[in-house]
Amino acid sequence: MSQTKWEAICLDTIKVAKAAGHFILSEQMKVKQEDIEHKKLNNLVSYVDKNAEIQIIEGLKKIIPDSTFLAEEETTQQSEGEYQWIIDPLDGTTNFLHHLPTFAVSIALVYQSKLVVGVVYEINKDECFYAWKDGGAYLNGDSIKVSPTKELKESLLVTGFPYYDFSIIDQYIVFLKYLMLNTRGIRRFGAAAVDLCYVACGRFDAYFEQSLSPWDVAAGALIVQESGGHICDFNGGDNYIHGREILASNDALYPTILDLTKKYLGS
Q: Is the dihedral of CA 210, 16, 72, 188 positive or negative?
A: positive
Q: Are residues 101 and 197 in the same domain?
A: no
Q: Are residues 182 and 218 in the same domain?
A: yes
Cα separations in angstroms, 27 against 32, 80, 88, 93, 102: 10, 31, 17, 13, 15
Q: Is the dihedral of CA 46, 47, 51, 57 positive or negative?
A: positive
Q: Are residues 136 and 204 in the same domain?
A: no
pLDDT in tens, the chain (267 residues): 455 899 999 999 999 999 999 999 999 888 777 767 776 554 556 788 899 999 999 999 999 999 999 998 878 878 788 999 999 999 999 999 899 999 999 999 999 999 999 999 999 999 999 999 999 999 999 999 999 999 999 999 999 988 778 899 999 999 999 999 999 999 999 999 999 999 999 999 999 999 999 999 999 999 999 999 999 999 999 999 999 999 999 999 999 999 999 999 998
What are the b/e assignments for 45-84, b being 16+ CB within 10 Å? Answer: bbebbbbbbbbbbebbeebbeebbbbbbbebbeeeeeebb
**What is residue 45's predicted lDDT score, i.e. its pLDDT?**
65
**What is residue 3's predicted lDDT score, i.e. its pLDDT?**
58
**What is residue 31's predicted lDDT score, i.e. its pLDDT?**
79
Q: Are residues 33 and 130 in the same domain?
A: yes
Q: Are residues 165 and 257 in the same domain?
A: yes
**What is residue 267's predicted lDDT score, i.e. its pLDDT?**
85
Q: Tell me the whole-structure pTM to 2 decimals.
A: 0.94
**What is residue 40's predicted lDDT score, i.e. its pLDDT?**
56
| Distance from chain centroid for Cα 205 | 16
Q: Are residues 122 and 158 in the same domain?
A: no
Last residue in a domain, options 143, 163, 195 = 143
As a whole number of Å, the CA-based R_g of the chain is 18
Residue 65 is part of a domain; what is its CATH number?
3.30.540.10
Q: Are residues 217 and 114 in the same domain?
A: no
| Distance from chain centroid for Cα 4 | 24
**What is residue 77's predicted lDDT score, i.e. its pLDDT?**
75
**What is residue 44's predicted lDDT score, i.e. its pLDDT?**
56
Last residue in a domain, options 89, 123, 143 = 143
As a whole number of angstroms, the distance between CA 110 and CA 114 comes to: 5
Q: Which residue segment(s) compose the domain that 195 sits in? A: 152-265
**What is residue 162's predicted lDDT score, i.e. its pLDDT?**
82
Asked if residue 25 lies in contact with residue 102, where contact means CB atoms within 8 angstroms, the answer is no
